[in-house]
Structure 1
Amino acid sequence: MSNETMKILRNSGWYEGRNIDTKEIEENLEKLGFIIYPEVKKFLAEFGNLVIEDTINDETHNTGVKFRSQGAFKAEEKYAQENLVPVGFIDSDNLVLFVSESGKVYCSTGKLGDNAKEAWESLIGGSGGKPWGRF
């Protein structure tokens, strides 16, 4: 990750090796019918419960959201070709952030990265990821 991306994440409370207790987040998602895959749990442990003030793009990204309903993410899963679990909101709450069962990170409009760090770099660093159907 770039120094700028790391600085924004650190200012939000993230640090290398972060490993929070994810029990409450997992229980909330499981009540809604989501399966907490190992890669989802890994993402939540490192990046869960953060409010990231993205000063580069003037946006907020929130991984501390409690979802109230499962929602209709079937279209996104069809594009991703794997199961997705919502883990927060990005772009000032305009897009849902997902982690797939394989650990890839997506949002409502496409793929952000093959892993969490690549996704944060795409999102904060400015490339914005790849729209559905273009990866």
Structure 2
Amino acid sequence: MAKYLLLKHYRGAPAPVNNVPMDQWTPEEISEHMRYMNDFAARLEKTGEFVDGQALAPEGAWVRYDGEGRPPVTDGPFAETKDLIAGWMVIDVDSYERAVQLAGELSAAPGAGGEPIHEWLEVRPFLACPPTITE
């Protein structure tokens, strides 16, 4: 088994087929999208492949070390940027191919009009530590 991070991107280009911003969805469309996400996670919990996941708010800040103990903080990322991470899910699966398959299914979550949003997902393996050699 290997752990993968699925990063849910809201991306401006290349545009998803159903590129209607979520703030323009009806309450029913948002509920259906959330139901799909919850059902997807519940299905993976049953197979032992779900580890964790969370949606992210569009507000945030950029922070970095400044060398003097006062990290500068810059507003952002903003929802109107070309690329915004909307959430994440950690899965533990048998293969990279299975991770890609699940990312494809997650990308089909419904959006405006009940149509799949074709959302971009980034599939990233967790860095594995090499085995410790003991003598």
Fold agreement, TM-score > 0.5: no
TM-score (norm 2): 0.26
| Larger Cα-atom Rg | 2
TM-score (norm 1): 0.26
Q: Which has the higher contact order (CA 8 A, sep 6+)?
A: 2
